[in-house]
Structure 1
Amino acid sequence: MAESITTPNDRRLTELYPGLDRLAADYYAQHQEVGSEALAVIRWIDRLVDLSTGSRRVVVVGCGPKPIAMQQLLEAGYDAVGVEPVPLMAEDARRFLGDPSRVATAAAEALPYPDGSCRVVLLENVLEHVDSPLATINEAYRVLEPGGVCYIYTTNRYRLSLTGKNFEYRVPFYNWFPETLKEAYVHHHLHFDPRLANYSVRPAVHWWSYADLCRLGRLAGFAYFYSRLDVLEPPPPNGMRSRVRHAVLERVRKSPWLRAMALLQFGNSIFMVKRRDAAP
């Protein structure tokens, strides 16, 4: 792994840390999850809308150099396509899939698909990294057909951890830092020490709550919003522990106060649904 260095005088600042894109591609190829929640997410979405009708196209935004999610979706019969803004990662993703046509080098703010042509857009660990969250959600809304679903899994500004783990920066309690201090760490990562944010070319700069995500979705035109609390299958009520878990989940779902408390810690994932009668 790279060592911390100072920026050489003969380099322009916007060239960032030397070789950061290659460091990022190599790191994420090594650490991108072996498993994927993609099929579980599709099952959850099928509890919200009927996926047996309409388009079979699923867009995986920020698919990374080893798009296992796309591989699983293709094997399940979905028309999975990927978008990756870092050219080296996009090249690695095409080699991984063995199909150059499946992965486009493009930003989340400019998806290369026609209006209303997709059924599902997956933004897992993406929204915190984009330049413009609103432009990104606007694009997801644009490419979705009426009744389509955008699924987002992102950062949680209110996450509590005794060790300060935040999954984005190797700095404990980073999500609780003042905004100016966060920006100072972003600058340090990009120019001096790329280990700070796990060698990301686009380190996380946006931190969200569930209410923030709902507000963003409404600005783009989405109508309905659901969390994992709404789509998880309750455990079968056989045995004391299962009955207790089942009762707790049902209680949380039906109580606005308990739901709000739960979403403070588990509100970093959201399903945004486009109206069925939305204009093309």
Structure 2
Amino acid sequence: MRNFEQTRVSRTDTANLEPRYLALLERERERWWESNNFDTWKNLYVSEYARGHYVLRTLRRYVPDFPAAGAHILDIGCGDAGVLIAFAEFGADTTGIEVDERSLTRGAVRAEEHGVTVRLLKGVAEALPLPDASTDLVILDNVLEHVRDRERTLAEIRRVLRPHGLLYMVTPKPLSLYSLWNDPHYDLAGLVLLPRQLQIWYFERLRGGGKGTYDVAVIPTRWRLRRLLRAAGFESLVSPRELWVSYVRDRIAEPTEVRPGIKRKLAARLRSSERAFTNPVLRWAWDVGIGSNFFIARKQN
């Protein structure tokens, strides 16, 4: 079992760890609904393992009494199980819920390559197949904008969490400057500003997506997310801005985590600049300009 000092893993590290999984993932290319965008989504699946290590580091930083070893972890919309595998390597008891059967198959192969056991179940967020008060931490990473019923999803999460259990939640920021220019799911400018039916029409007309392929509801703002969490019985433990700036700082600490070109050059300059992450105005700019909403919340009893 690993310890918390071994939690930094880059996205490129996974290539040597997961050859069978990567080969299985590559087979999806020919059936992918949008072939010219497959590599972008492939990289997101591959990066799940590194993201799991980031979640571990974040919890250690902001909730130092959270025990990874022996904790019961639930990842809703677990994809190919990379986040769960990272937790399992630190001794956690891990369960993943996913609607896509092929993701469940790939996740099982991936876990086998890492030599860990993860429990993978087909299901939906609004009806979790778990008993009451059975989980210490629920991870909801870029999933809430896809579910049919947000209130029901959060109620189910609260149900399965133990007293004072934790929710780690991430969603896109619909009103960041980057999201307005480049939709976080479909790369269409201005898509996040439109009502649901216009979003579908815009997507199908400009992308040629088939009926039913647009599965993102109107993305909630941070203000709306805070209200949803409070109404569901959760207390936010850390400022979302603090979590986002911390994520940016952690991300650019490794050159390979940033795309080549101007972004990597900018990251190299920022790595040595303490002021870029401590100045209040610059922290506000990071928050408004790009990124996601991060929450660590505790179940109130």
Please, what TM-score do these two structures have when normalized by structure 2?
Answer: 0.66
Matches within 5 A, 1:1-280: 23=32, 30-35=42-47, 36-49=50-63, 50-52=65-67, 56-64=71-79, 66-98=80-112, 102-161=119-178, 164-185=181-202, 193-194=209-210, 203-231=215-243, 232=246, 242-245=273-276, 247-248=278-279, 251=280, 262=287, 266=291, 268-275=293-300, 278=301
**Which consecutive residues of structure 1, in runs of 5 or more, have no partner in the other structure?**
1-21
CA-to-aligned-CA distance 1:13-32 (integer Å, 9 cap, x gap): xxxxxxxxx646x9598343
**Which consecutive residues of structure 2, in runs of 5 or more, have no partner in the other structure?**
1-30, 251-270
Cα distance 1:39–1:147, how it changes in 2: closer, same or farther (>3 A)?
Answer: farther
Give the counterpart letter for 1:269 in structure 2.
Answer: F
Give the counterpart letter for 1:216 in structure 2.
Answer: L
Match of 2:17 in 1: none
Cα distance 1:85–1:193, how it changes in 2: closer, same or farther (>3 A)?
Answer: same
CA RMSD of aligned residues (A): 3.8
3-state DSSP of counterpart to 1:182: helix
Residue 53 of structure 1, CA deviation = 8.5
1:130/1:202 contact within 8 Å kept: no
Give the counterpart letter for 1:125 in structure 2.
Answer: N
Match of 2:7 in 1: none
Cα distance 1:139–1:75, how it changes in 2: closer, same or farther (>3 A)?
Answer: same
Residue 107 of structure 1, CA deviation = 0.3
CA-to-aligned-CA distance 1:104-156 (integer Å, 9 cap, x gap): 00101111222121111111111111111111111111111122211111122
CA-to-aligned-CA distance 1:185-215 (integer Å, 9 cap, x gap): 467799x625x9xxx9672113121111111
Bigger share in helix? 2
Give the counterpart letter for 2:276 in structure 1.
Answer: R
2:87/2:94 contact within 8 Å kept: yes
Cα distance 1:223–1:106, how it changes in 2: closer, same or farther (>3 A)?
Answer: same
3-state DSSP of counterpart to 1:111: coil
Match of 1:19 in 2: none
Q: Which has the larger radius of gyration?
A: 1
* Identity value in percent: 25
Task: Give the Cα separation in 2 of the matches to 1:83 and 1:41.
Answer: 18
1:115/1:142 contact within 8 Å kept: yes
3-state DSSP of counterpart to 1:69: helix
Task: Give the Cα separation in 1 of the matches to 2:89 and 2:221.
Answer: 34
